[in-house]
Structure 1
């Protein structure tokens, strides 16, 4: 099959299948370009017939530890992916979002193999499934392993939409009752936290298409509206209306927002444009 015919066939597919086809093409090209990685790429991607099984294999390789060896970690991951196909769909959407928004991503290969924000988020999706199944102890074990392995902390009960990019991911904290909508971008050292030791609903609710800049803290059971932008280093303690930009400590509205900030990753404030 010629390259043009192959690309046409890929474009004709949709959703997970299209993402999987693109990932396999990138893996095959990388294996040909760098033969020393061919065995690794074959084991991680090319020998699998489905995105689901490749994802389970990759997560197991990242999450295995002395208490949960690679085989057991794989069993846990594949059980979750088989039981809830939405996890696979969301993983494909997340990977596509990273490839579109992060200039460091040369293809789908980089997030799938190397980006810890992607690995941590997919691991969280497995732990969230465990949490909802009443298997809290194993969910907490995976949360702890993710924190040790990737340097961020997401409570298993936190609800996170699809098409989400956690960029760099280092020191990101997302609390138990936090909600993150579809198509958001979250940079490193972001905290979605509480304001005290209360046990009730106490964490932020982030709308769709929100961009949260590096080092921002969003605290308390407050809502950040769809399409909003939170500037780096801000401390957000009050509701944020949709489609606006907030900045400062404490954060205040400083202007309207650029269109689709989570997709454009535009971090220039209105008075700096």
Structure 2
């Protein structure tokens, strides 16, 4: 059996050929209304299919937010399964934004759901929360290694509430966030051209020079667009690690739907602006 190509290598190739943009698929009720759709499974399916058909053949990463599908129960999850499969068939990498985090067999079950290649929800990468301890993520780390998938670990999120945990200082004088970044650097040691285990670091946070963001892995940067950050802000926030940044935009692109050309043109503008800022 052929070894799967690691997520980090596939992501680097996608970033170089399609640009380093991630577009979120966030079908919350207000966006469905803005698109003239009903807030039900039919509206969810139309919104998701339109977004995937418009973008999956041209952006590097699509990031469905699982919660907006879960709220419709099993029928919503069926829409999510189809979207994941169709996006990957069209060449996009799929990052499942589910922020799972637990211990032992429960973490193992989450890993099997999203990181096992035989699962209907298998995704190229998964967002996870490390705040039961980084090593509690080991079942997901192991599953990702085995399946050629990746993880994005919450490290320095853009929400104000995150500071009380992420900026808290440990006994050794380092912050919790800095500790998570060190763990990721260790997990990615020796990987080329890019490790498969990245951090979530908000693009709205300003100067982060106190943190070593060089984890030899990708940095998912939410906050571009509706949350106030712009692609031009990325070099100041991420410094020398900016080449590994995957900026994430959701409403900034999705508000231009349901017309396919609106979605494509908006994503292309963001991608061009990111490319110019990063290079």
With the length of structure 1 as denominator, give the TM-score of the two structures: 0.28
Higher-Rg member (1/2)? 1
With the length of structure 2 as denominator, give the TM-score of the two structures: 0.28
